[in-house]
Structure 1
């Protein structure tokens, strides 16, 4: 029997995050957004709820939940604001999970309790200025010199990399050459404040303005040899695994934004009058809202399916790519329709839909562009790669 009802534990979590988003995030996030300021009090609130440790085992300092619990939390946060949601998403899927999945026992003991508690944040340094979607074109290098790695290179668009509570960045780097002549890519843990590790000033962004994003540079940055994360030369495979998980989380975030558009438009359509009637009574508005609800519902089912396959230990690469593609499309289309329903008010930054419109576009780019998702789906269908 197919049953999409949430368990009691998942529903209780969903309700608690929904209440936090409505009562704590919604009243203040607009001001943080306009100031492009990182919302430390809200991050502390999420930390106090245990959200950064949701999919981490209790013995590692986490809540002992599952990845689907993280997705539910992200959806509820993004219904109100995506900056707060992406801070949690990146903090967990890109900060915590690489160490949880691939770290040795010493690395887990050193980093996971603080990361899972939300006391500190971790970041994942993958994208490079000239690389974009071609992660295999990594140019950052890490050369083993005695008992230290010497890291040189740069990373761009790295979330949670420059906050006052950022503790480390996991960096992909070329550490040698494979027997076939290809690049040997490994992942290295670089603690914040390491000499030679520089965080550039924050970007001026179109959206996600209350989240933290920087370019990073490494100039003869030395870290201990034991900061190698996982097996040498397996960095490419590791980050592909992390990105597949992350696509499910980003899909949940996109569904949250799409649902937020529906929520706001339903409220507005019941209040706004035009030509003597509330606009919710006009079929043109009703049809838009019906389409918005359909997109949201379909995208939610897609990420539920991907998450359930992940938790059962089944292959879910195709489903994760499909969920990410469906949710980013739904978010972008719903944000556009919501702005149209709100009219001039939808173009104002003080309205949630104004923020939704600005935040939606990055979902078609970050953690794998929509074009990359289509490539992945095609490969999973057995079609040849170019």
Structure 2
């Protein structure tokens, strides 16, 4: 099996290949870019300190125009747009670090910026023609124009294939005429440029209309509905969009006609890292608040920070954040290194980022106790703001299914090829030989990690062992279920969570190895300790997940749910 299989660390791992060259050395920004980002972050902190009142934004349900104007003046609207188009041209790692900072300061602003450039204009960056880039990017870079991403519809959220908005080619072939609507569009109330997905006529008779991506100007006739009233991120704009005979020039097709699904997936793959980075920042703010609170709140004559259960919460939060940060910047570094396929890594970062933030927000409010529930304090707002991350840019349930099915697709194809080769052994001799070699390697000894520091040998062995289990489980469930694996969501969830923990351990090992090599054991003591705690937590989860593959109550749970659907309620009452 080639070492750079499918150019994805996680897809290689599903084959049992530990592509260490993609982990080591742990990526970092160049010294020049690090210096530039540090200067930008100083400006961001000063601006937010002087001009941004998050509680006021939450109450007013809007970001003041002067704040948006100031963000534009700081250059925050064109962070990843190349310099030749008026942007800052930041790397993925640098962009993530800026979004991390903004996420630590205000969630509504982070969402607004992310909707503009992580997904709103990203399609133009990834798929735009040179003419499209020259026409749109300069004004998007300055914030003169703002962008939004319009995919979701009332019946098409996670299921992008259910999009009903239509775009029909005009008789003269010069325009598409767009009709339909989109819901829950961030920046929908004020964006000037939209990446819109619509059905276009099939190229072949009898085929289903294909999804096509368009760059659509508001001035073409796009209408916005009223602002939605939301649980959190209340300062961000979220509206419905309406397209009634909106004429879009054919030159505004983004990518190829009929290839819009690929555009949507690539944009979301990229955008999910921005969300993960923002989650890191919010986690850092929360854990700082938690640490302050445990040293001021007293119970039984002493600070609650002295109690074991509180120390456990703080240590767990720190280990979770360290792993999330390591995963996110490893994934961003892979993009900067030119890795083409980072879909699994970005999906994992989004899942782990949103769930880590939700856990940290919940535990911080618990530590705050009574004041955490009161609107006079910031805890409850931060909890409300955190909740959306588990839903948008792909629900975590859908992304778990994606991680599992996408990861297993490579081994699945290999098994199909082997089955075919066994029917034609002469033609398939080479393939069978490759398969036999891989199986022999699995039997004789697992793939090894050779570049982790010796101080992390215990954690490295755990990673190796569970990588082998991922491969064995993948092969076993594919043999058992075949193509029906697409319906086996309990299996998908377990496989995805094994993969997620393995990526977390790998990222921590790479980052902590770099820290030890640079600062020695004592200098890297805190990284070593957090890696140990995270790996221990992951090991306990992994043991349970592996056991549950064989011994579970999946069918019983399905039956209970089906009976509840018939009852339409909880079925018991003590009366």
Shared fold (TM-score, shorter chain, > 0.5): yes
Which residue of the partner structure matches residue 241 of structure 2? 216
Q: In terms of mean alpha carbon deviation, does 1-10 or 332-341 score higher?
A: 1-10
Of 109, 126, 130 in structure 2, the residue corresponding to residue 105 of structure 1 is: 130
Give 1:150-189 correspondences, 5 Å limit: 150-163=177-190, 166-179=191-204, 181-189=207-215
- CA distance in 2: counterparts of 1:65 and 1:52, whole angstroms: 12
- CA distance in 1: counterparts of 2:36 and 2:83, whole angstroms: 17
Q: Which secondary structure state, in structure 1, belongs to the residue aligned with residue 248 of structure 2?
A: strand
Superposition deviation, residue 273 in structure 1: 2.7
Q: In terms of mean alpha carbon deviation, does 44-53 or 61-70 score higher?
A: 44-53
Indicate the structure with greater helix content. Answer: 2
**Cα distance change on mapping 1:63 and 1:167 into 2, 3 Å:** same
Say how many residue pairs are matched. Answer: 383
Of 300, 309, 326 in structure 2, the residue corresponding to residue 275 of structure 1 is: 300
Q: In terms of mean alpha carbon deviation, does 70-79 or 2-11 score higher?
A: 2-11
> Does the CA-based 8 Å contact 1:80-1:352 persist in structure 2?
no
Q: Which secondary structure state, in structure 2, belongs to the residue aligned with residue 218 of structure 1?
A: strand
Superposition deviation, residue 201 in structure 1: 0.4
Give 1:27-106 correspondences, 5 Å limit: 28-106=53-131
> Does the CA-based 8 Å contact 2:29-2:93 persist in structure 1?
no
- CA distance in 1: counterparts of 2:68 and 2:31, whole angstroms: 25
State which structure, 1 or 2, has the greater radius of gyration over its C-alpha atoms. 2
User: Residue deviations 1:26-50, cap 9 Å, x none?
Assistant: 5512101111012333333332222
> Given the alignment of the two structures, is residue 385 of structure 1 paired with residue 486 of structure 2, yes or no?
yes
User: Residue deviations 1:96-119, cap 9 Å, x none?
Assistant: 211122222222122100101222
Q: Which secondary structure state, in structure 2, belongs to the residue aligned with residue 373 of structure 1?
A: helix
Q: Which secondary structure state, in structure 1, belongs to the residue aligned with residue 239 of structure 2?
A: strand
> Does the CA-based 8 Å contact 1:14-1:76 persist in structure 2?
no
Indicate the structure with greater strand content. Answer: 1
> Given the alignment of the two structures, is residue 206 of structure 1 paired with residue 231 of structure 2, yes or no?
yes
> Does the CA-based 8 Å contact 1:125-1:158 persist in structure 2?
yes
Gaps of 5+ in 2: 1-23, 410-484, 488-575
Q: Which secondary structure state, in structure 2, belongs to the residue aligned with residue 99 of structure 1?
A: helix
- CA distance in 1: counterparts of 2:112 and 2:261, whole angstroms: 24
> Does the CA-based 8 Å contact 1:17-1:76 persist in structure 2?
no
Which residue of the partner structure matches residue 268 of structure 2? 243
Could you say what the CA RMSD is over the residues aligned between the two structures, in angstroms? Answer: 1.9
Superposition deviation, residue 380 in structure 1: 2.9
Superposition deviation, residue 361 in structure 1: 1.3
Which residue of the partner structure matches residue 47 of structure 2? 24
Q: Which secondary structure state, in structure 2, belongs to the residue aligned with residue 54 of structure 1?
A: coil
**Cα distance change on mapping 1:223 and 1:16 into 2, 3 Å:** same
Q: Which secondary structure state, in structure 2, belongs to the residue aligned with residue 219 of structure 1?
A: strand
**Cα distance change on mapping 1:14 and 1:269 into 2, 3 Å:** farther
- CA distance in 1: counterparts of 2:208 and 2:120, whole angstroms: 27
> Does the CA-based 8 Å contact 1:51-1:70 persist in structure 2?
no
> Does the CA-based 8 Å contact 1:171-1:190 persist in structure 2?
yes
User: Residue deviations 1:280-310, cap 9 Å, x none?
Assistant: 2222222111111111111111111211122
- CA distance in 2: counterparts of 1:79 and 1:9, whole angstroms: 24
Alignment TM-score, normalising by the size of structure 1: 0.93
Which residue of the partner structure matches residue 264 of structure 1? 289
Which residue of the partner structure matches residue 420 of structure 2? none
**Cα distance change on mapping 1:178 and 1:302 into 2, 3 Å:** farther
> Does the CA-based 8 Å contact 1:176-1:185 persist in structure 2?
no
**Cα distance change on mapping 1:183 and 1:313 into 2, 3 Å:** farther
- CA distance in 1: counterparts of 2:30 and 2:241, whole angstroms: 41
Superposition deviation, residue 178 in structure 1: 5.0
Superposition deviation, residue 352 in structure 1: 3.0
Q: Which secondary structure state, in structure 1, belongs to the residue aligned with residue 295 of structure 2?
A: helix
- CA distance in 1: counterparts of 2:117 and 2:131, whole angstroms: 19
> Does the CA-based 8 Å contact 1:13-1:73 persist in structure 2?
no
User: Residue deviations 1:189-226, cap 9 Å, x none?
Assistant: 2211333x210000000011111111111111222222
Q: Which secondary structure state, in structure 1, belongs to the residue aligned with residue 90 of structure 2?
A: coil
- CA distance in 1: counterparts of 2:84 and 2:140, whole angstroms: 13
Superposition deviation, residue 6 in structure 1: 4.8
Which residue of the partner structure matches residue 383 of structure 2? 357
Superposition deviation, residue 184 in structure 1: 1.1
Superposition deviation, residue 358 in structure 1: 0.2
- CA distance in 2: counterparts of 1:274 and 1:331, whole angstroms: 27
Alignment TM-score, normalising by the size of structure 2: 0.64
- CA distance in 1: counterparts of 2:342 and 2:126, whole angstroms: 17
User: Residue deviations 1:157-184, cap 9 Å, x none?
Assistant: 1111212xx2111110001125472331
- CA distance in 2: counterparts of 1:353 and 1:2, whole angstroms: 38
